[in-house]
Chains A and B, each alone.
Chain A
């Protein structure tokens, strides 16, 4: 027979009555509270008993972790027949086996003030901080969408966070609103001689939804991350997030220590802020430049002039041979899916070719598909406003049979580098040791344009 069991807790910390009734009903069924975790509460099997539970806000620990006030408080509770059952964040849970124990709290107004005092510095502060951080995160994502549209629309994790952030902010604001609504109703009830109002069930439902959303978020996050279609940005962003999470996690033991010392919230906030500022100044925003996740395609290969070449190169839409009209002795090709999201898909193709007589050529092109016109426009604008060392100049799109064509220049010297636009499709073509003439441009357009029927491989 199972001796322990874990229950998912969805009670709000200010739902003192609801939580106490829940624990009493568990005890009546033979399950006694043993330990409280962040999400799950542990119960141990025992004899079914009529136990009364009460949750209260104990006094804060004094300076240097002095527990005198808490011990005195506990002494008073024990003298009234209440035994401490567990600590729950800033709260304490007491149990009594007496038939009709004296309630732990007999002054509703006083209790409400203490709950508010406790909630203000813990639960509410966390809700406000989370909402604020989410708002900052959302604004950064919006900025990213406007200023780095190209990588943004290919980054599944950024898109996911953009979709989820407003939901989470609304959830946080709803929780805060729920607490204040409950407090207002309770104050009114006390003025009318009643007891603090029960916490509405919707608060528990919201808590449950928040947990489910977190699980969904983690799973989706992992799915995107592990998918071969995720962009390198998604992966490096995850590493950055993980680093930031570790930095935040490092504050946890520090916070516990502050709890023991009874350090005021303002001092903690200031210390955290300064600590983070110093960290950011010292380390900068860590955004790792990760190596390619997918290297050259595997397959039979050989070595010639200290370089690896493909024995049977994979087919790609446009090759150096197509452009030059002559077969090349040594060929090496790569196809890399840069990212695939519901908004955009980008694939990078490259080919290095060499002849026995020493001639070499290099061809690289990317095919980006963005069916939504506004997304396509935003990405194009981002690509055209690239780094200052490069500038794009518009040129006649007719040879490319494209809607628009741009040629890239560096230091006012035109490069063999073009950006071509069709509705829903942006293609970049870059060559080395290979100057494209009108016929070759038309051929490239036929192979890479929308009429080529070329679809990004999955």
Chain B
């Protein structure tokens, strides 16, 4: 069965939403993601454009300003909820991992 869109976020999705907690233009998102992850996550402009477009269509971000060719975006409440849900999911994963490892250590 096909997975519902944005039910879980990929790394680039996660970091885009994270960066857009503050209003930010598209070109800056790439730089911010690279800085935030110390170049571990790189995002191509083609991929970024598509993700921004998808997020906007899903109502997770909104366009705040268009200046020439530049466009700025800001996360919406729905986007924040999705980001928080992803964070909780990652915490669950971490918790489960820890529990398993501790169990193994006790044995």
Contact A106 B43 (CB under 8 A): yes
Residue on A with the closest CB to B69? Answer: A75
Cα–Cα distance between A75 and B69 once the two chains are bound (Å):
6
Given contact pairs A74-B69, A75-B70, A110 touches B47 in the complex (Cβ within 8 A): yes
Contact A59 B47 (CB under 8 A): no
Chain B residues 24-58 with CB under 8 Å of chain A are 26-27, 30, 42-51, 53
Given contact pairs A68-B66, A72-B69, A75-B69, A102 touches B26 in the complex (Cβ within 8 A): no
Query: Which of A76-84, A207-215, A377-385 contacts the other chain?
Result: A76-84
- Is B10 positioned at the interface, with any CB of A under 8 Å from its CB? yes
Cα–Cα distance between A359 and B46 once the two chains are bound (Å):
89
A interface SS class:
helix
- Is B71 positioned at the interface, with any CB of A under 8 Å from its CB? yes
Contact code string A45-77 (vs B, CB < 8 Å = 1, else 0): 000000000001101000000001101111111
Contact of B46 among A68, A71, A79, A104 (CB under 8 A): A104
Chain A residues 88-141 with CB under 8 Å of chain B are 102-107, 110-111, 114
Query: How many of chain A's residues have a CB under 8 angstroms from any CB in B?
Result: 24
Contact B49 A79 (CB under 8 A): no
Contact code string A412-433 (vs B, CB < 8 Å = 1, else 0): 0000000000000000000000
Contact A105 B44 (CB under 8 A): yes
Chain A residues whose C-beta falls within 8 Å of the C-beta of B66 in the assembled complex: 68
Contact A79 B53 (CB under 8 A): no
- Distance in Å: Cβ of B3 to nearest Cβ of chain A: 12
Chain B residues whose C-beta falls within 8 Å of the C-beta of A71 in the assembled complex: 69
Further contacts, 5 of them, CB under 8 A, given A76-B46, A76-B49: A79-B27, A102-B44, A105-B47, A106-B12, A106-B44
User: Could you list which residues of chain B lie within 8 angstroms of chain A, going by C-beta atoms?
Assistant: 10, 12, 26-27, 30, 42-51, 53, 66, 69-71
Q: Give me 13 A-to-B residue pairs in the complex whose CB atoms sit less than 8 angstroms apart, sorted by A's number.
A: A57-B46, A59-B49, A73-B45, A76-B45, A79-B30, A80-B44, A103-B42, A105-B44, A105-B46, A106-B43, A106-B44, A110-B47, A111-B46
